[in-house]
Amino acid sequence: MQLRLDALEPHLTKGLASLYVVFGDEHLLVQEASDRIRAAARAAGFTERSVFTVERSFDWSSLIGASQSMSLFGDRQLVELRIPSGKPGKEGADALKTLAAAGNPDVLMLVTLPRLDAATQKAAWFSALEQAGVALRIDPVDRAQLPNWVAQRLGQQGQRVPPGEQGRRALQFIAERVEGNLLAAHQEIQKLGLLYPAGTLTFEQVHDAVLNVARYDVFKLNEAMLAGDVGRLARMLDGLKGEGEAAVLVLWALTEELRTLLRIKRGTAAGKPLATLLRENRVWGPRERLVGPALGRLTEGVLEQGLALAAQLDRQVKGLTAGMPGGRWRDALPPDPWDGLFELAALVAAPGKRRTADAPGKAA
């Protein structure tokens, strides 16, 4: 069966299943869920532990043997299987189906996997694991939900922010500084627990304690662009520049997103279902729900205009002449390519507020 993360604790208090599958890309939450299962297993007498990590040429027979062997000391054992790629291969798939059917009461299996797409979750080996035990899907914490997540974690250590605007500012401040990095958020929350006693934290205390721990991600920049969050775009571009990220990589990521949007826009205009176009263009995760609203505010002309601007920026970041022949863009590009990257991203994020009168010609 599948279980939500918030249902894990009540489930464990009622007794252990013989097999657990924890999958997702939110490493902090995967680690915490796995730790909780391990603790419950130790309390139930599974005192031996074997860990297997699937790499190239992994010997699946060793895993089968470990799951069937009895401890020399008669202890029950926890067998952990980590599959970082999420793809066990044919031999592995067969081995996992065998393990799912084994049902050894002296062995508890814990399988950890990264995020799995819908097709993989329907594969025979995954279905066998899910039916034999408990599958725990770890979804990312939405950026919009991050302030509430921070507040909940503060509450677990006896701290809280003031009610009203000051509290919202404090939570938003932490969320912005960690930029979606839950592990960084967790560390900052623990730091607040060490610095201040239980009770209410002021905004000033939070501000003084929390460092700018964001490790900005080029591909998260696309999410901010699709969401129309111009303020976040500015912060992320400043962060990427400060961290020494290559402007050419940022431009490539933005340009690929523009091309994807234009293909989907033209596809919907031709009558193709949006869901089909998203699948064909490999759009999933947070981007999947952001693309529709973004396309609603964008025209083909704006997207073509963006690609023309991207072509100019490409020349600029490579040290070539910035302007286009014929002066089709009224103003010269900003001297700093990072300002031009902001112009490009903001063109998609807030097209109604960007200049469109003397736009470049149609993109090829």
**Domain membership flag for residue 360:** no
Of 116, 137, 158, the domain-final residue: 137
Residue 359 has pLDDT above 50, yes or no: no
What's the CA angle centered on 346, arms 245 and 319, to 5 degrees? 45
Q: How confident is the model at residue 235 (pLDDT cuts 50, 70, 90)?
A: confident
Q: Is 200 helix (H, G, I), strand (E, B) or coil?
A: strand
Helix locations, 270-285, DSSP H:
274-280
Contact 21, 127 (CB under 8 A): no
| Judgement on whether residues 67 and 86 belong to the same structural domain of the protein | yes
Residue 110 has pLDDT above 90, yes or no: yes
Q: Stretch 10-27: mean pLDDT, rounded?
A: 91
Q: How many domains does the chain have?
A: 3
Query: Which one has a higher pLDDT value, 71 or 191?
Result: 191
Total residue length of the chain? 364
Q: Stretch 150-173: mean pLDDT, rounded?
A: 92
Query: Which one has a higher pLDDT value, 358 or 350?
Result: 350
Rg (CA), the chain: 25
Q: How confident is the model at residue 71 (pLDDT cuts 50, 70, 90)?
A: low
**Domain membership flag for residue 359:** no
Q: What pLDDT was estimated at residue 12?
A: 92
Q: What is the pLDDT of residues 307-327, one digit of tens each?
A: 999 998 988 887 775 444 444
| Judgement on whether residues 303 and 324 belong to the same structural domain of the protein | yes
Contact 328, 262 (CB under 8 A): no
Residue 56 has pLDDT above 80, yes or no: yes
Q: What is the pLDDT of residues 266-275, one digit of tens each?
A: 999 999 999 8
Domain span at residue 196? 147-209
| Judgement on whether residues 228 and 335 belong to the same structural domain of the protein | yes
Q: What pLDDT was estimated at residue 126?
A: 93
| Judgement on whether residues 20 and 130 belong to the same structural domain of the protein | yes
Q: Which of 110-114, 130-134, 155-159, 239-243 has the lowest mean pLDDT?
A: 239-243
Can you read off the two tokens belonging to residue 51? 């860990």
Q: Stretch 112-121: mean pLDDT, rounded?
A: 90
Q: What pLDDT was estimated at residue 135?
A: 94
Residue 22 sits at φ, ψ, to 5 deg, of -115, 120
**Domain membership flag for residue 364:** no
Of 89, 115, 137, the domain-final residue: 137
**Domain membership flag for residue 142:** no
**Domain membership flag for residue 335:** yes
CA distance 304 to 183: 39
Q: Which segments of the chain are extended strands (E)?
A: 2-3, 19-23, 46-53, 76-82, 107-113, 134-137, 159-160, 199-200
What's the CA angle centered on 170, arms 165 and 173, to 5 degrees? 120
| Judgement on whether residues 238 and 173 belong to the same structural domain of the protein | no
Handedness of CA 222, 223, 226, 229 (dihedral sign): negative
CATH code, 182: 1.10.8.60
| Judgement on whether residues 240 and 349 belong to the same structural domain of the protein | yes
pTM to 2 decimal places = 0.62
Per-chain mean pLDDT for the chain = 85
| Judgement on whether residues 120 and 229 belong to the same structural domain of the protein | no
Contact 136, 23 (CB under 8 A): yes
Q: What pLDDT was estimated at residue 134?
A: 93
**Domain membership flag for residue 361:** no
CATH code, 7: 3.40.50.300
Q: How confident is the model at residue 136 (pLDDT cuts 50, 70, 90)?
A: very high
CATH code, 265: 1.20.272.10
Query: Which one has a higher pLDDT value, 56 or 322?
Result: 56
Of 209, 241, 257, the domain-final residue: 209
| Judgement on whether residues 52 and 133 belong to the same structural domain of the protein | yes
**Domain membership flag for residue 242:** yes
Q: What pLDDT was estimated at residue 324?
A: 47
**5-16: b (≥16 Cβ within 10 Å) or e:** beebeebbeeeb
